[in-house]
Copies of this chain bind each other. A is one copy, B any other.
Amino acid sequence: MRDVAERAGLSVSTVSHVINNTRAVSDESRQRVMSAMEELDYKPNALARSLRRRKTNTLGMIVPDSANPFFAEVARAIEDTSFAQNYSIILCNSEGDLEKQQAYTNVLIENRVAGILFVAAGISTELVNDLEQRRVPLVVVDREVPGVEVDTVMTNHAQGGYLATQHLIELGHRRIACIAGNSEVSPSAERLTGYRRALEDNNLAYDERLVVKGDFQYESGYEATKHLLALEVPPSAFFACNDLMAVGCISAARELGLRVPQDISVVGFDNVRLASFTNPPLTTVAQPIFEIGALATKMLLERMLDLDAPPRFKRLDTVLHIRRSTAARADR
């Protein structure tokens, strides 16, 4: 910038003011500055600016695994929205590991990010309090943090689980398996709740043998299905708590010579891009992925403006997309 000022024959402060449009400057001076910048191909130093302003244009985003299609799509939505608002994103993959998450959080704090988005992160009460005390704005996405008041955007997972199960029941299925996630975390448990509630509402007994835990990866859906289909009385329908496990489920069924949906029905959860192109196309409960990311970013940006406003909790509804992986139960 000094160079620009010299080249333009003006003071550094004037140059700064034309760059930031922060003070009236004569047309001539403005011109001189502009051309000097052009000629020197000047790019302001955001580090110095942020240091001085005590505020960066960087956001931190912590996800368990940015290569997982669901998180990848949420991350994409967050990045898009942030870019549109002039914020950059530092990407962090926690792998759900608390230590890594803490390490990343430290890096983000040291880089004085303007805010942090925790996506599906197993965030602890202490961490939230720590961040609050440091006055770091944060938004939690896709996880409920028990006992703490933080800005949160969540999907109505219970409603989604209900929708999925109800759909299967309406198709005549009576033995409906649930390939759950790690049930300790909120979205996973809620999907299961929705499943149970739908069974109840239809006077179907909850059979715990039909519920098996997965970990949201393809493999676990595959394994769970192999296990479930080996039961004495196997289920005729599966509610997989995410699309990846649903894909694994279909894969396993096929290996056992079962046709989807003629022999068994399966419904997923998330509606990632892939879901439209599985074989058969997957019936699934859609989360409003883009909206989740966009809303989370928006909430974070608003939070930055007023750290002491009351925390907000947003729940987004799901929509059932009926495709080709579900059909009426075959008579037995």
Q: Which residues of A contact B (CB under 8 A)?
A: 41, 43-48, 50-51, 56, 58, 61, 65-67, 69, 72-73, 75-76, 79-80, 83, 88-93, 104, 106-107, 109-112, 134, 218, 222, 244, 247-248, 250-251, 254, 260, 273-274, 276-281
Q: Are A90 and B251 in contact (CB under 8 A)?
A: no
Q: Are B93 and A90 in contact (CB under 8 A)?
A: no
In the complex, which residues of chain B have a beta carbon less than 8 angstroms from the beta carbon of A75?
66-67, 91
Q: Are A46 and B79 in contact (CB under 8 A)?
A: no
A73 to chain B, nearest CB (A): 5
Query: Can you spell out 17 A-B residue pairs with CB atoms less than 8 angstroms apart?
Result: A45-B110, A46-B111, A47-B50, A47-B111, A51-B51, A58-B111, A66-B75, A79-B91, A88-B111, A91-B91, A218-B274, A218-B277, A244-B277, A247-B274, A251-B277, A251-B281, A279-B279
In the complex, which residues of chain B have a beta carbon less than 8 angstroms from the beta carbon of A91?
61, 75, 79, 88-91
Residue of B nearest to A133 (CB): B41
Q: In the complex, A190 Cα to B66 Cα: how many Å?
A: 29
A63 to chain B, nearest CB (A): 10
Q: In the complex, A293 Cα to B104 Cα: how many Å?
A: 20
Q: Are B45 and A51 in contact (CB under 8 A)?
A: yes
In the complex, which residues of chain B have a beta carbon less than 8 angstroms from the beta carbon of A274?
69, 218, 247, 274
Q: In the complex, A238 Cα to B69 Cα: how many Å?
A: 25
Using A48-B51, A88-B111 as known contacts, list a sample of 16 further A-B pairs with CB atoms less than 8 Å apart, ordered by residue number in A: A43-B106, A47-B47, A58-B111, A66-B75, A66-B79, A67-B72, A67-B75, A67-B273, A69-B69, A83-B93, A88-B107, A90-B90, A90-B91, A244-B277, A254-B280, A274-B274
